[in-house]
Amino acid sequence: ASTLGEAAAEQGRYFGTAVAANRLGESDYVATLNREFNSITAENEMKWDALQPSRGSFNFSSADRIADHARSQGMQLRGHTLVWHSQLPSWVGNLGASELRSAMNNHITTVMQRYRGRVGSWDVVNEAFEENGSRRNSVFQQRLGNGYIEEAFRTARAADPNAKLCYNDYNTDTWSYAKTQGVYEMVRDFVSRGVPIDCVGFQAHFNSGNPMPSNYHTTLQNFADLGVDVQITELDIAGSGQSQAEQYGGVVQACLAVSRCDGITVWGVTDKYSWRSGDTPLLFDGNYNPKPAYHAVLEAL
């Protein structure tokens, strides 16, 4: 295969990227996107502040542009993200418990119903754990307590019974790490009690201080063994040249080693527009030339 998407498809996986709606007018960006990738995640356009900036008033225009692009190209679409402490409009933080509960459930229901049949997997809850494995002290946690995650997943299942429902987080790659264990315990508990969860997303934002762990496939396999699928959802790796390439190849190998690893999404098309652009963490440079990391991924697939 000669593209990331085709090579992944031959392995029964997808290879996706985050996309920014305001770049879809740039021809080199779109050409690279359409040629190489067969799955899209909206980089910001499906977050709460973008979709419901004020209470009860939804704006789907940018999210729709991305969803329409995916459909026109026959690409899969990941939904990111419904319940998250960040990029959350301030009105949400001002609600009391019962209003927050209904706002959360209304947001999940309204957004998921709009993209029903189009979004294959949703990041229902994002980044709900602290590094020490305890629950993050978000407004949802403060007002609604431990049960809010479970409630979000139950609401999500009702809103779109055919979408895969994921919990997504970062720094959950190393098996022995406290945060990994905290998330694992939650997923184990959900599965054992029949709380609807289908997948766990691993953001995989790596750098020299936080590299891909050597036991990565063990972590992915241990989660998969709970009975959920796993996905690499926001991959980017600081660096350049061969060392960056080797790490990218390692992530692909870790995913391919786990039959329940659905696919990999990199967090952007080109270093030029990366959220961590100084790190040059992606597969294409600022001129859309494939980097050694690109060739390593293609090779590993």
Q: Which residues bind ligand XIL (CB under 6 A)?
A: 43-44, 126, 203, 234, 275
Q: How far is CA 222 from the centre of its chain?
A: 19
Closer of 17 and 203 to ligand XIL (Cβ): 203
Decide the pairing of beta strands 76-83 and 205-206.
unpaired
How far is residue 254's CA from residue 215's CA, in Å, rounded to a whole number? 9
Smallest distance, ligand XIL to C-beta of residue 275, A: 3
Closer of 198 and 234 to ligand XIL (Cβ): 234
What number of H helices and E strands is found in the chain?
12, 9
Smallest distance, ligand XIL to C-beta of residue 44, A: 5
Smallest distance, ligand XIL to C-beta of residue 207, A: 13
Active site residues: 234
Rounded to whole angstroms, the maximal C-alpha distance in the chain is 54
CA distances from residue 53 to 61, 77, 92, 101, 113 in whole angstroms, order as listed: 13, 23, 9, 17, 18
Smallest distance, ligand XIL to C-beta of residue 9, A: 25
Closer of 91 and 275 to ligand XIL (Cβ): 275
Handedness of CA 116, 121, 127, 132 (dihedral sign): positive
Closer of 23 and 118 to ligand XIL (Cβ): 23
| Cα-Cα end-to-end distance for the chain | 9
